[in-house]
Structure 1
Amino acid sequence: MGDADGRVALVTGASRGTGAAIAIRLAAEGAAVALTAQAAHEGDPGDPGSLAGVLARISAAGGTAIALAADLSRPDGGRAGLVAAVERRLGPLDILVNNAGMGGYMPFLDIADQRIDTVFEVNLRTPWELCHQALPGMRARGHGWIINIGSAAAEAPVGPPYGDSVVDLQSSLYGSSKAALHRLTMSLAAEAYADGIAVNVLAPDAAVRTRDDWPSPEASPEPVETMAEAALALATCSPDELTGRVAYSLSLLVELGRTVRGLDGVSKLAGWQPHEIPLSRLRQPPVG
């Protein structure tokens, strides 16, 4: 019996990185997980990961999962009816994790109009539509958990004078899309509170290193396991007590005093337990 036993979850962007980790962690806690992403099978060796690979890993561990390939960057890419497709195969949806995202950092004048459209399709329009699909059923059943993966890039840079990091100077597109997602989350949390539905943003305290060769704007990234553990906490929390939050992964784990486990749900992650995380790493240090 796991914390998510008997629940059905949908995780977008689940072919690699944070999305894959969240899906595997939820499955380890007993959830039946629907995976969606564009990469159905292994393709670019420089960008490894696929739905098939994550599905195989969950199945090998005795978990339940299905894969539904979709290109969330296009309105006709398969997101319409996605929640209904999940429910036909797994049952009523309890947990929605809007993890799929794109953007990157670049100067404002270098951003093409097509790039703007694509980033907002993935980072805002897709979560909007999937929430719209999921909320009626959650409301009818009187429970639900929605997690929108956000970013510190949504926050205004501190200044003047301003820092010289790419997050400070090149977040106009990516940061704007995530700021809109944060605000959408807060509004949904307020609307859905009386229905027993928790709606939260989860963002990493630092960049999450999902590949050894992926350059990070942060000097010291955190592992995918901390994001996965924080997501599990938000996917199994009491909606009366934990909703309408822009929660940062390490900060949330310290606040809750939550044991951080590996993606198998059994092993403990060495060096990343709440008492081992320095307060200097937290964006939301605990009060007192």
Structure 2
Amino acid sequence: MGQNLELDGRVAVVTGASRGIGRAIAERLASAGATVVLAARSLSTSTDGLEGTIEEAVAAITARGGKAVAKACDVEDAASRAALIADTVADFGRIDILVNNAGRAMMNPAFVLNLANELSQAQQYLLGPLDLIINALPHMKAQGQGWIVNLGSSSAYPIDGYKDGDKLMSPGHAYYGALKAAVHRLTAGLAGELQEANIAVSAVAPVAAIATPGVTALGIVTPETAHWFEKVEHIAEATLALVTLPAKERTGVIAFSYQYLDTIGRSTMSLDGKTVIEARG
């Protein structure tokens, strides 16, 4: 693992950690010394047909000397959400960091919108994360500190009137972008409310997109769109940056991966924390 153990002694929960952004964040937090609880709907099998499980992710982390465990959690189920937080505290005595990453985008265009599907998306991206926060807050308050990071999106950017060709106006972005805008607003509001409790609430997002298995399954990763995609290491590093300094110094930030790293002058490291991917002053 990496030598700079900024999170030594802390316990982090990362949802949707079987692959893609969630797994990358879990690996990077573990490389910085955190004990990481990786959560997904299933431990050893894929429930959505995509490659990757949290047991495989845990094995990769522990093989490098990191500390990680797998716990099943369906973010659409209230009992499962409550159990994830309760079990983490029971096993490790605390929860310092909560990363709300779980969710698989449908990106349904207007004529394909279906209320049942969209309610499921709201559970994954907004209501489930909110409930996990609600469950974690009493423990963080009792500890005297905590860090919450929600996964945002460039789809949440404000739209100032219709512009032909605007990526934010492309099919599938209306509802997805609305959910992510709500995530950004919830993040900012909670940051203000929880600052005095020394609990930071921030969001991290790709500048454009990351070619995760879920995104690839949508069929939008093509040679023509390649310039939109960025390295997953950037968003993992930005997440680590959000949870290293004291809570009051990092709260309320909406961090757009490498742009945020440019601003704070932090280099992007490999997920094991050993190699510089992109150096910054």
**TM-score normalised by length of structure 2:** 0.90
Cα drift, residue 46 of structure 1: 5.9
RMSD: 2.1
Shift in CA distance, 197/58, structure 1 to aligned 2, threshold 3 Å: same
CA contact (8 A) 1:4 1:29 kept: yes
Q: Distance in 2 between matches of 1:167 and 1:60?
A: 44
1:129-182 Cα deviation digits (max 9, x unpaired): 111011111112221110000111112335333325365442122111111111
* 2:161 paired residue number: 159
Cα drift, residue 109 of structure 1: 2.6
1:86-127 Cα deviation digits (max 9, x unpaired): 111122000000001233322223111111110001101111
Whether 2:90 is the aligned partner of 1:84: answer no
Whether 2:279 is the aligned partner of 1:273: answer yes
Q: Distance in 2 between matches of 1:200 and 1:19?
A: 16
Shift in CA distance, 3/109, structure 1 to aligned 2, threshold 3 Å: same
CA contact (8 A) 1:103 1:173 kept: no
* 1:6 paired residue number: 9
1:227-264 Cα deviation digits (max 9, x unpaired): 11000000112322221122211111001110211011
Whether 2:151 is the aligned partner of 1:145: answer no
Shift in CA distance, 122/196, structure 1 to aligned 2, threshold 3 Å: same
CA contact (8 A) 1:8 1:90 kept: yes
Higher relative contact order (CA 8 A, sep 6+): 2
Shift in CA distance, 163/267, structure 1 to aligned 2, threshold 3 Å: same
CA contact (8 A) 2:28 2:240 kept: yes
* 1:66 paired residue number: 69
Question: Equivalent of 2:247, from 218, 230, 239?
Answer: 239
Shift in CA distance, 239/45, structure 1 to aligned 2, threshold 3 Å: closer
Runs of 4+ in 1 over 4 A off after TM superposition: 211-214
Q: Would you tell me which structure has more helix in proportion to its own residues?
A: 2
Shift in CA distance, 167/235, structure 1 to aligned 2, threshold 3 Å: farther
Structure 1, gaps ≥5 residues long: 276-288
Name whichever of 45-54 and 170-179 sits farther off.
45-54
CA contact (8 A) 1:35 1:67 kept: yes
Shift in CA distance, 240/72, structure 1 to aligned 2, threshold 3 Å: closer
Q: Distance in 1 between matches of 2:86 and 2:26?
A: 19
Cα drift, residue 20 of structure 1: 0.3
Identity over the aligned pairs, expressed in percent?
A: 40
* 1:111 paired residue number: 113
- 1:1-288 pair list within 5 angstroms: 2-43=5-46, 47-76=50-79, 78-163=80-165, 165=167, 168-211=170-213, 215-216=220-221, 219-269=227-277, 272-274=278-280
Shift in CA distance, 254/101, structure 1 to aligned 2, threshold 3 Å: same
CA contact (8 A) 2:78 2:131 kept: no
**What SS does structure 1 have at the residue aligned with 2:133?**
helix
Cα drift, residue 47 of structure 1: 1.6
Name whichever of 206-215 and 47-56 sits farther off.
206-215
Q: Distance in 2 between matches of 1:170 and 1:48?
A: 24
1:4-46 Cα deviation digits (max 9, x unpaired): 1000000000000000010011111110010101142244796
CA contact (8 A) 1:229 1:261 kept: yes
Cα drift, residue 52 of structure 1: 0.8
CA contact (8 A) 2:75 2:129 kept: no
Q: Distance in 1 between matches of 2:200 and 2:12?
A: 14
Structure 2, gaps ≥5 residues long: none
